[in-house]
């Protein structure tokens, strides 16, 4: 059919100018043979829609122009639905079997989502006519949505857009018959066409809200404007901003205020690393002109970690947040409706709920692991006796930091990583340099090693590993798991409410951090995509504003400049794209690198290892990303983060005066290196000739 459409050039008839030219003839035929004309028009519209031919918009305009608004709306509405259903059936019977065989897993996931939210998704697609309707017909036919559901939702969802186009068609017909340039009706119709996507989205949101209210019983009054579940970084920032905006805010926490970052993650690990750095300095004492024989008091180190937690805790305490105006509630929360939460025997309601329940250490399914008293970031900090030999599974950021820290405190450490190199998401040269430094710190690295089994034996904990074709075992007295974190979604009542999760188990959120329920948002480790404290705080600020003011003006979260840092020695930090990410996305880039062996301050400190590398748009100083590996890299990445966030370039960094000698000068040096490589050789030649002329020398001196 499409071949015939192209072969006979039927598209020549589907132009507004053509129809206007023949309007009088067509109108005369319609007036003389109304029933036959209406039937012919109806069948033509059905055929065009069923076969996904171009011209549906023009046919809609023609319908009202020839038959009037009422008849045009009636004919187009039912013809479009019938044609859509025929296209839907064609896709189902001709293509679904092949698609189901080839893409079984993705299609099963889509079908599962449509079973729960199919009416809402389809209605949104119909009400917001940004996605071509013929593609909606074909793609929905590949799913298992019932035909009757597809038909009635399409009939209802396409009605507003059909009405607007019918009104526009009537005005265009009037314009052609009177010869006027513009009429108020046409201006109004064009305004409606422009506002249709916005109106469609508003109507879709309103219908979804009404459906939720009818299903769950929306309260007429609410206890709070904002209710936050989880008092980690994301939940605390959300609560803080909500309280600052003078909203009524409740914060529910089942364990300790401050979350994992304060008690099990960032704070204790950085306190431990501070003590480990003393160990590193003592090892270098002779190099720096000192004799050192100090011994590590492991128990004292771990006690200091707890003291640091106690010193930081008031920043996240109940007292502080209550003083800010947040009602803090101790207990485990469970959602019972999109607006209500149960905490013990209490039932609390809020216009918006933000889930910030964080994550917990991931425990892999390794044979025998359940019979071992292994350590995680939750239990590690209770140690007071140093392990005789610590085995660490997982060479990510946490694994590298803790491996080096324990090694510098005098503990033999073996770090096991399944990938072929540490930190596979980082720049290869940076992860290689870090691996070398871990080795110098006393860490034994086993890369490309898969753990097959674990066993508790008389000699200690034995892990069976496979490295390539070789199988072997390693033994230690303690085992630490640093294999990432899995989101805390259990026990929240999400499944009963139909809150969608990703394949990885995170709560699925959109660009405004809203879940599949419009009244529920999620931030932090439970939502991803970054499991970083500062990313959770960043999300918390957006979530608070969207929860309180999103009905008026929703904010889309900006992930352009989220820095990552690994606090080993040397530290590794990056922001924006790496070379691997840019290559995989097809983003062209230029790379400029400055080695810290050329930096005066690095030589003064005896820390010449590492480099700063920037990726820029070819021919421009605009940043795409930056990577640093060296002392205090986490601090030195900030100017690049600022530049990336606000569209600054290397020329601005180069023009900024830096104190000498500082580590931060490395940022200016890499900007200067970029500038030198982008200075025109011809321009420099001309400058040289100009200066020779100024001092009276020949323009072309003899060789």
Interval 339-376: pLDDT, tens? 999 998 999 999 999 999 999 999 999 999 999 999 99
d(CA 598, CA 608): 8
- For 411, residues 6+ apart whose C-beta sits below 8 A from its C-beta are 298, 386, 387, 389, 390
Q: Where does the pLDDT of residue 490 fall: very low under 50, low under 70, confident under 90, or very high at 90 and above?
A: very high
Share the mean pLDDT of the chain. 86
Lowest mean per-residue pLDDT among 153-167, 417-431, 453-467: 153-167
d(CA 654, CA 594): 14
d(CA 60, CA 74): 11
pLDDT at position 213, please? Answer: 67
pLDDT at position 6, please? Answer: 40
User: In the 3-class helix/strand/coil scheme, how is 570-591 assigned residue by residue?
Assistant: CEEEEEECCHHHHHHHCCCCEE
pLDDT tens sequence across 275-296: 999 988 888 888 888 876 778 8
pLDDT at position 357, please? Answer: 96
Length in residues, the chain: 703
The token pair that represents 259 in the structure block: 């979350």
Strand bridging mode 333-337 / 326-330: unpaired
The token pair that represents 116 in the structure block: 């729960």
Q: What percent of the chain has pLDDT over 90?
A: 57
pLDDT at position 13, please? Answer: 45
Strand bridging mode 359-361 / 346-355: unpaired
164 pLDDT higher than 90: no
d(CA 290, CA 282): 9
φ, ψ (nearest 5 deg) of residue 502: -80, 175
The token pair that represents 653 in the structure block: 């960094």
180 pLDDT higher than 60: no
Strand bridging mode 224-229 / 346-355: parallel
Phi/psi region, residue 572 (left: phi>0; alpha: psi -120 to 50; beta: rest), is: beta
25, containing H or E segment: helix 23-32
d(CA 316, CA 310): 11
Interhelix angle 34-50/133-141, rounded to 10 degrees, is 60
Q: Pick the most confident of 52-66, 293-307, 387-401.
A: 387-401
Ranges of beta strands (E only) in 322-369 are 326-330, 333-337, 340-343, 346-355, 359-361
pLDDT at position 175, please? Answer: 47
> Which one-letter DSSP state was computed for residue 364?
-
pLDDT at position 194, please? Answer: 55
Give the CA distances from residue 173 to residues 35, 161, 163, in Å, rounded to whole numbers and listed in that order: 21, 18, 15
The token pair that represents 145 in the structure block: 């949505």
pLDDT at position 88, please? Answer: 87
Coil, strand or helix at 141:
helix
pLDDT tens sequence across 515-524: 988 899 999 9
Average pLDDT over residues 211-215: 69
Strand bridging mode 623-630 / 571-576: antiparallel
Q: Tell me which residue of 267, 280, 265, 276 sits closest to 301, measured CA to CA.
A: 276
pLDDT at position 1, please? Answer: 41
pLDDT at position 523, please? Answer: 97
Q: Where does the pLDDT of residue 429 fall: very low under 50, low under 70, confident under 90, or very high at 90 and above?
A: very high
Q: Where does the pLDDT of residue 205 fall: very low under 50, low under 70, confident under 90, or very high at 90 and above?
A: low
pLDDT at position 630, please? Answer: 95
Give the CA distances from residue 438 to residues 69, 443, 467, 599, in Å, rounded to whole numbers and listed in that order: 77, 5, 20, 23
693 pLDDT higher than 80: yes
CA 381 to chain centre: 31
d(CA 285, CA 359): 41
pLDDT tens sequence across 587-644: 999 999 999 999 999 999 999 999 999 999 999 999 999 999 999 999 999 999 999 9
Q: Which residue has the tokens 């513009």?
A: 182
115 pLDDT higher than 60: yes
- For 335, residues 6+ apart whose C-beta sits below 8 A from its C-beta are 341, 353, 492, 493, 494, 497, 499, 520
pLDDT at position 182, please? Answer: 45
d(CA 73, CA 64): 7
Handedness of CA 438, 444, 450, 455 (dihedral sign): negative
Q: What percent of the chain has pLDDT over 70?
A: 86
What DSSP line would sit under 392-438, residue for residue?
A: EE--SHHHHHHHHHHHHTT--EEEEESSSSSSTTS-HHHHHHHHHHH
């Amino acid at each position: 059919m499409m071949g015939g459409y192209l072969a006979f050039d039927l598209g020549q008839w589907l132009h507004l100018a053509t129809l206007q030219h023949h309007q009088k003839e067509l109108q005369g035929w319609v007036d003389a043979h109304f029933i036959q004309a209406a039937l012919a028009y109806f069948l033509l519209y059905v055929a065009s829609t069923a076969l996904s031919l171009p011209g549906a918009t023009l046919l809609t305009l023609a319908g009202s122009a020839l038959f009037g608004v009422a008849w045009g709306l009636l004919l187009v509405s039912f013809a479009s639905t019938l044609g859509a259903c025929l296209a839907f059936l064609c896709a189902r019977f001709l293509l679904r079997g092949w698609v189901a065989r080839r893409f079984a897993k993705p299609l099963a996931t889509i079908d599962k989502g449509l079973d729960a939210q199919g009416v809402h998704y389809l209605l949104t697609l119909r009400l917001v006519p940004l996605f071509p309707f013929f593609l909606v017909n074909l793609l929905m036919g590949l799913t298992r949505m019932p035909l009757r559901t597809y038909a009635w939702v399409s009939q209802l969802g396409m009605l507003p857009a059909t009405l607007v186009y019918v009104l526009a068609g009537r005005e265009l017909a009037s314009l052609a018959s009177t010869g006027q340039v513009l009429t108020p009706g046409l201006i109004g119709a064009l305004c409606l066409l422009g506002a249709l996507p916005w109106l469609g989205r508003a109507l879709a949101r309103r219908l979804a809200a009404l459906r939720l209210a009818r299903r769950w019983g929306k309260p007429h009054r609410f206890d709070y404007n904002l209710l936050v579940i989880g008092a980690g970084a994301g939940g605390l920032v959300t609560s803080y901003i909500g309280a600052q905006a003078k909203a009524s805010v409740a914060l529910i926490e089942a364990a300790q205020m401050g979350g994992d970052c304060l008690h099990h993650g960032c704070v204790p690990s950085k306190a431990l690393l501070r003590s480990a750095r003393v160990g590193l300095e003592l090892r270098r004492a002779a190099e720096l002109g000192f004799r050192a024989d100090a011994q590590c008091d492991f128990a004292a180190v771990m006690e200091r970690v707890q003291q640091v937690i106690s010193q930081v805790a008031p920043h996240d305490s109940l007292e502080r947040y209550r003083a800010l105006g947040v009602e803090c509630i101790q207990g485990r929360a469970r959602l019972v409706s999109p607006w209500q939460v149960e905490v013990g025997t209490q039932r609390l309601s809020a216009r918006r709920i933000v889930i910030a329940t964080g994550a917990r250490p991931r425990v892999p399914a390794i044979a025998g692991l359940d019979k071992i008293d292994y350590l995680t970031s939750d239990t590690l900090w209770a140690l007071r006796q140093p392990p005789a030999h610590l085995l660490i599974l997982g060479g990510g950021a946490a694994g590298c930091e803790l491996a080096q820290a324990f090694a510098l405190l005098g503990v033999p450490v073996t770090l096991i990583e399944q990938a072929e190199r540490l930190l596979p998401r980082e720049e290869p040269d940076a992860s290689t340099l870090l691996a070398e430094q871990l080795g110098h710190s006393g860490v034994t690295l086993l890369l490309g090693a898969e753990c097959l089994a674990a066993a508790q034996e008389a000699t200690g904990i034995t892990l069976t590993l496979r490295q390539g074709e070789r199988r072997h075992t390693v033994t230690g007295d303690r085992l630490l798991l640093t294999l990432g974190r899995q989101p805390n979604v259990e026990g929240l009542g999400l499944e009963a409410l139909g809150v969608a999760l990703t394949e990885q188990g995170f709560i699925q959120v959109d660009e405004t951090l809203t879940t599949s329920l419009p009244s529920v948002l999620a931030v932090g480790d439970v939502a991803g995509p970054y499991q970083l404290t500062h990313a959770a705080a960043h999300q918390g600020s957006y979530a608070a504003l969207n929860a309180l003011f999103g009905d008026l003006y929703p904010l889309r979260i900006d992930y352009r400049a989220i820095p990552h840092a690994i606090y080993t020695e040397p530290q590794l930090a990056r922001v924006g794209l790496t070379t691997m990410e840019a290559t995989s996305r097809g983003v062209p880039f230029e790379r400029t690198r400055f080695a810290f062996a050329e930096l005066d301050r690095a030589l003064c400190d005896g820390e010449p290892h590492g480099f700063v590398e920037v990726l820029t748009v070819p021919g421009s100083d605009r940043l795409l990303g930056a990577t640093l590996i060296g002392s205090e890299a986490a601090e030195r990445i900030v100017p690049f983060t600022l530049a990336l966030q606000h569209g600054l370039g290397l020329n601005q960094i180069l023009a900024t005066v830096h104190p000498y000698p500082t580590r931060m000068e490395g940022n200016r040096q890499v900007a200067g290196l970029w500038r030198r490589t982008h200075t025109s050789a011809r321009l420099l030649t001309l400058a040289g000739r100009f200066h020779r002329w100024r001092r009276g020398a020949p323009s072309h001196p003899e060789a």
